[in-house]
């Protein structure tokens, strides 16, 4: 079940290379999962995003680990916009089991919008329209 109608959901597959020596998904891999969620969100919301030009960079990332992910876990990730600033957008992420709803982690990434010159620029209005400030 999606968080709300302005969120996107993507199934994730744990790869063997994602694992650490204890057989858990390495903590750094969660940020790659979050990246896949942001890309899927952009596609699902039909945003005009050209991957050949960098439109934003991450300024902050945080993860709250709830339960370790292992190789054979089924995963789904939900991504939505929590809030927007003048030049930044805060994405929320949640990785859960689509089977029983177990929450593996929650997290947040803050992206700063860049103009063609590579400097901070005003966030496009469409991001403001997709914000879900009450999350």
Greater model confidence, 57 or 51: 57
In this structure, what is the dihedral angle of CA atoms 55, 77, 72, 17, given to the nearest 10 degrees? 10
Domain 7-130 is in which class?
A: alpha beta
Other CB atoms within 10 Å distance of the CB of residue 12 = 21
d(CA 9, CA 87): 25
What pLDDT shows up at residue 135? 42
CA–CA distance, 69 with 65 (Å, rounded to integer):
10
pLDDT in tens, 63-76: 999 999 999 999 99
% of the chain surpassing 90 pLDDT:
70
Give percent of the chain above pLDDT 70. Answer: 90
Confidence of residue 1 (pLDDT cuts 50, 70, 90): very low
Sheet holding 103-113, edge to edge: 7-12, 75-84, 88-96, 103-113, 56-65
**Cα angle 129-65-134, degrees, rounded to a multiple of 5:** 25
Average confidence score pLDDT of the chain = 90
Look at residue 33 in the predicted model and tell me its pLDDT.
98
Residue 46 has pLDDT above 60, yes or no: yes
Average pLDDT over residues 70-84: 96
pLDDT at residue 24 greater than cutoff 60 = yes
Q: Which of 47 and 80 is assigned the larger pLDDT?
A: 80
Residue, of 36 and 51, whose pLDDT is higher: 36
């Amino acid at each position: 079940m999606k968080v709300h109608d302005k969120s996107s959901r993507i199934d994730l597959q744990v790869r063997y290379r994602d694992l650490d020596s204890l057989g858990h998904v390495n903590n750094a891999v969660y940020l790659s999962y979050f990246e896949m969620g942001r890309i899927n969100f952009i596609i699902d919301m039909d945003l005009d995003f050209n991957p050949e030009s960098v439109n934003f960079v991450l300024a902050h990332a945080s993860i709250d680990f709830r339960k370790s992910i292992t190789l054979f876990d089924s995963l789904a990730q939900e991504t939505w916009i929590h809030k927007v600033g003048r030049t930044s957008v805060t994405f929320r992420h949640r990785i859960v089991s689509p089977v029983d709803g177990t929450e593996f982690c929650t997290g947040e990434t803050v992206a700063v919008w860049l103009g063609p010159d590579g400097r901070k620029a005003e966030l496009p209005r469409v991001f403001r329209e997709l914000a879900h400030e009450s999350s």
